[in-house]
Amino acid sequence: MADKETAALRDALCGTKFVYIAASFAALGGLLFGYDTGVISGALIFIKREFGLTTVAEEIVVSGVLLGATLGAIVGGKAADLFGRRRVLLVTAAIFGIGALASAMAPSPTVLIVSRVVLGLAIGLASTNVPVYLSEVAPPQARGWVVSLFQLAVTVGIVVAYLTDYAFAGVEGWRWMLGLAVAPALIFGTGMFFLPETPRWLIRGGHHEVAHRVLVRIRDLGDVNVEIEEIKASLAQQTEGGHWTDLLRRQVRPALVVGLGLAVFQQITGINTVIYYAPKILQTAGFNSASGAILATVGVGVVNVGMTIIAMFLVDRAGRRPLLLVGIAGMIITLGVLGLSFRISNPSGQLAWIAVICLMGYVASFAISLGPIFWLLIAEIYPLKIRGLAEGTAATFNWASNLIVSLTFLTLVEKLGASSTFLLYAFASVASWLFAYYFVPETRGRTLEQIEAFWRARHRARNADSGIS
Ligand code: BGC
């Protein structure tokens, strides 16, 4: 009986099903990313009250996570190439757990800030490793879907954080708000303990037999040799040695530009001003009741989740580029209307409703474009030898841009006014649409090795055009 059950469990965990189970556990890293960045908005008022924080201390508590995430992303990519995706994710889960407990039990503001930076480290590590892990275990025809589970988990994490804040607000339970993240961290760590290393990292390190076993387990195909040969052949053509300097090589440069560009545009188009400050924006637009503003914020979070699910459904069918271009166009329109609406006077409170509709439309547009597709593309466009490193560099730019936007938003609103601030993000969205149109390639349906071959062919064609041999 026990044997039968074990066999049944093994069957259930084989083939495509295994990929989805593996992906769900790995994506918990995204849930913790969303939860730990989102939870502070509701916890802050109580922390401020208990510790008597100054405004500067408050800003440091909020942005400590972003600083930690920038540092985590700097080391996370290189670590993933050196030690493997799975090992780094195991360490990440442990740091998530320790950071959550330490921040929940913090006896002083200093300990709280240090714990938030530690949590940030885990978020940075997760953001460099989870998408790469997912892209390297996913079958090519479902890779968009599988990697976007990460973004879905981020958005679910944000909503869970908003709801937890709401649930514990009555008892001023900020320690519970921060501490509850221990539970998903434990599940994430346990899941990663049982999950295998990715076949691509194994082949890169010469562990061909183990890679073969893993591939047999995660593919429905009896013969996985074709995939193994494709990975080996692609590796053989890569001249990179896995160093930072490789990122500047001519053949890697176009992919690097795509990753870094999208990293910066994902943030400077203003998404986190809404995710972190939605109640404030709504109140500026004339939403008088605080609880109404908070409820509308939960609505924004739910729209974010719902549209991410739609993006997951479309990304392997319509492709990455159409989603990016349509979504960013939506961001331009909604930000533009939001910016202009702050210029009109608000005699009967319609502005508040225009603001809600624009914010929802803006988040919906982000959720089908720059949200999931940035993390997806940076996990699939780089050559295997430097994939972790290059993905980590893009993630670092993303976190650093996030930090800058979050730190400057309130000052911009104060100095320029809400209208000009949102119009500024609308202009950044126009630039990001042009960038996507001219620079971002379509990767739908291709294997990771075919994507590598695409960049190589393009590099050869450019060299031939400019007469370089
Ligand atoms: C971004 C985060 C953002 C989240 C919102 C992610 O793709 O990287 O900065 O908070 O989306 O859904």
Q: What is the per-residue pLDDT across 84-136, written as a single tens digit (0 to 9) for each?
A: 999 999 999 999 999 999 999 999 999 999 999 999 999 999 999 999 999 99
Query: Is residue 215 included in any domain, yes or no?
Result: no
Q: Is the pLDDT of residue 467 over 50?
A: yes
CA angle at 347 for the pair 342 and 353, rounded to the nearest 5°: 55
Query: Is residue 296 included in any domain, yes or no?
Result: yes
Q: Is the CB of 38 under 6 A from ligand 1?
A: no
pLDDT reported for residue 252: 86
For ligand 1, atom 2, name the residue with the nearest CA. Answer: 272
Q: Is the pLDDT of residue 26 over 60?
A: yes
> 237: buried, middle or exposed (CB in 10 Å: 19+, 13-18, 0-12)?
exposed
pLDDT reported for residue 6: 47
Give the integer Cα–Cα distance in Å for 105 and 87: 28
Position of tokens 């799975």?
A: 86
DSSP-derived secondary structure for 280-329:
HHHHHTT---HHHHHHHHHHHHHHHHHHHHHHHHHHTTT-HHHHHHHHHH
Query: Is residue 218 included in any domain, yes or no?
Result: no
CA 216–ligand 1 middle distance (angstroms):
34
CA angle at 53 for the pair 47 and 57, rounded to the nearest 5°: 105
Q: Ligand 1, residue 272: give the atom nearest the CA.
A: 10
Q: In which band, very low, low, confident or very high, does the pLDDT at 3 lie, cut at 50, 70 and 90?
A: low
CA 370–ligand 1 middle distance (angstroms):
9
Do residues 369 and 328 make contact, with C-beta atoms less than 8 angstroms apart? yes
Query: Is residue 179 included in any domain, yes or no?
Result: yes
Q: Of 2-6, 35-39, 286-290, 319-323, which one has max mean pLDDT?
A: 319-323
> pLDDT tens, 349-405?
677 788 889 999 999 999 999 999 999 999 999 988 888 899 999 999 999 999 999
> pLDDT tens, 184-217?
999 999 999 989 999 999 999 999 999 988 888 8
For ligand 1, atom 3, name the residue with the nearest CA. Answer: 272
Q: In which band, very low, low, confident or very high, does the pLDDT at 278 lie, cut at 50, 70 and 90?
A: confident
More confident residue, 467 or 441: 441
**Number of structural domains, the chain?**
1
pLDDT reported for residue 161: 93
Please provide the average confidence, as pLDDT, over all residues in the chain.
89
More confident residue, 279 or 298: 298
Position of tokens 């988040």?
A: 363
Q: Is the pLDDT of residue 65 over 60?
A: yes
Q: In which band, very low, low, confident or very high, does the pLDDT at 9 lie, cut at 50, 70 and 90?
A: very low
Position of tokens 């514990």?
A: 168
Residue 345, classed as helix, strand or coil, is coil
Q: Is the CB of 164 under 6 A from ligand 1?
A: no
Structure tokens at 257: 């530009």
For ligand 1, atom 1, name the residue with the nearest CA. Answer: 371
CA 371–ligand 1 middle distance (angstroms):
6
Q: Of 239-243, 245-249, 400-404, 452-456, which one has max mean pLDDT?
A: 400-404
Q: Ligand 1, residue 155: give the atom nearest the CA.
A: 12
Least confident of 23-37, 192-206, 276-290, 296-310: 276-290
Which stretches does DSSP call E strand in 92-153?
A: none
Q: Is the CB of 271 under 6 A from ligand 1?
A: yes
Query: Is residue 178 included in any domain, yes or no?
Result: yes
For ligand 1, atom 9, name the residue with the nearest CA. Answer: 272
Q: Is the CB of 127 under 6 A from ligand 1?
A: no
Structure tokens at 237: 């053509």
Q: Please, what sign has the CA dihedral across residues 445, 447, 448, 451?
A: negative
CA 400–ligand 1 middle distance (angstroms):
13
Q: Which residues constitute the domain of residue 333? A: 2-195+238-466
pLDDT reported for residue 349: 67
Residues with Cβ < 8 Å from 12, sequence gap 6 or more? none
> pLDDT tens, 47-56?
988 999 888 8
Give the mean model confidence (pLDDT) for residues 310-319.
95
3-state helix, strand, coil in the chain (%, to 5): 85, 0, 15
Query: Is residue 226 included in any domain, yes or no?
Result: no
Q: Is the CB of 130 under 6 A from ligand 1?
A: no
Do residues 351 and 286 make contact, with C-beta atoms less than 8 angstroms apart? yes
Q: Is the CB of 400 under 6 A from ligand 1?
A: no
Q: Is the CB of 426 under 6 A from ligand 1?
A: no
Cα 461 → chain centroid: 33
Query: Is residue 360 included in any domain, yes or no?
Result: yes
> What CATH number is given to the structural domain containing 337?
1.20.1250.20
More confident residue, 245 or 374: 374
Query: Is residue 252 included in any domain, yes or no?
Result: yes
Residues of the chain with pLDDT > 90, as a percent, come to: 57
pLDDT reported for residue 469: 46
Q: Is the CB of 401 under 6 A from ligand 1?
A: no
Spell out a b/e string for 155-186, using b for 16 or more CB atoms within 10 Å of the CB, else e: bbbbbbbbebbbebbeeebbbebbbbbbebbb
pLDDT reported for residue 335: 97
